[in-house]
Homo-oligomer: A and B are copies of this chain.
Amino acid sequence: MTNNIVVTNIQRADAATIDGLREAGVATAHEAAGRTGLVGIAVQARQSGLTIAGSAVTVSSHPGDNLMIHTAVEQCRPGDILVVTTTSSSVHGMFGDLLATSLMARGVRGLVIDAGVRDIATLRAMGFPVWSRAVHAQGTVKATPGSVNIPVVCDGQLISPGDVVVADDDGVVCIPREQAQRVHQASVERVALESAKRELLASGTLGLDLYNLRPLLESLGVTYIDDPVTNKTQ
């Protein structure tokens, strides 16, 4: 089994691709990835207006135990994002301002955690961005083994070490490392396309016409009615 291991040597995507995916943002990167990769909605931004992208360093912890988070810090490099999961559902405040201080000292860009964080006011003041399942002051122990840099499932989404994680106010998306360049390219094209659409829609063109949806509505049997009361008595 791959239990209780720390993988020290993981591959990461190139910096230009990661930066490009950050510019795309979560919704666009997710669409460019064929509508895949989203972490569930339980993991929410704990600040407003920040977007980050980086390489995932992953942690699988026992609930209520942050021993493996401390272990993972050493594996982080500038540009990484720490991704923490627990072996069963937990809202313990496993991460606070001291761990954030450590991560910022190593150039880590943020935290995605399927559990709780605490010291949230300090984290915001420090400018350390966090996406978490909960804010909860409940303290943790350092007693139980776990793993660093193994594939983990974060609120329903598989994340492997070295995958590109993008996070903003819309949530968190994971782009597998080997697909990152391709998804980046697709997201650039998508942004251009959306820009053109936005202008048309702002000028009053309807999506019904822009996307040619009227024939589809007709084929699906959608009927236009002036007066529902009359229809009811037909």
Interface status of A62 (Cβ within 8 A of chain B):
yes
| Cβ–Cβ < 8 Å partners of A203 in chain B | 105
CA distance A49 to B153 in the complex (A): 30
Rounded to whole angstroms, the CA-CA distance of A150 and B26 in the bound complex is 23
Q: When the two chains form their complex, are residues A136 and B213 in contact, meaning their CB atoms are under 8 A apart?
A: no
Cross-chain contact B136 with A41 (CB below 8 angstroms) = yes
**Shortest beta-carbon distance from A84 to chain B in Å:** 14
Q: Is A192 an interface residue (CB 8 A)?
A: no
* CA A225 to CA B151, docked complex, whole Å: 14
Copies of this polypeptide in the complex = 6
Tell me the smallest distance from the CB of A230 to a CB of chain B, in Å: 11
Interface string of A140-169 (1 = CB under 8 A from B): 011111110111010111100000000011
Which single residue of chain B is at the shortest CB-CB distance from A9? B226
Report the count of interface residues on A (CB-CB < 8 A): 106
For window 1-35 of A, CB contacts with B under 8 Å fall at: 1-9, 26-27, 30-31, 33-35
CB within 8 Å for A41 and B135 given contacts A67-B213, A96-B27: yes
Which chain B residues border A38 with CB–CB below 8 Å? 88, 136-138
Q: Which residues of B contact A222 (CB under 8 A)?
A: 4-6, 71, 145-147
30 sampled A-B residue pairs with Cβ under 8 A: A5-B223, A6-B224, A7-B228, A8-B225, A27-B96, A30-B139, A36-B87, A49-B121, A63-B63, A63-B64, A64-B87, A64-B90, A67-B213, A70-B206, A71-B217, A73-B206, A73-B207, A88-B90, A88-B91, A88-B92, A90-B90, A93-B170, A98-B198, A101-B201, A105-B201, A143-B144, A145-B220, A145-B221, A149-B228, A153-B157
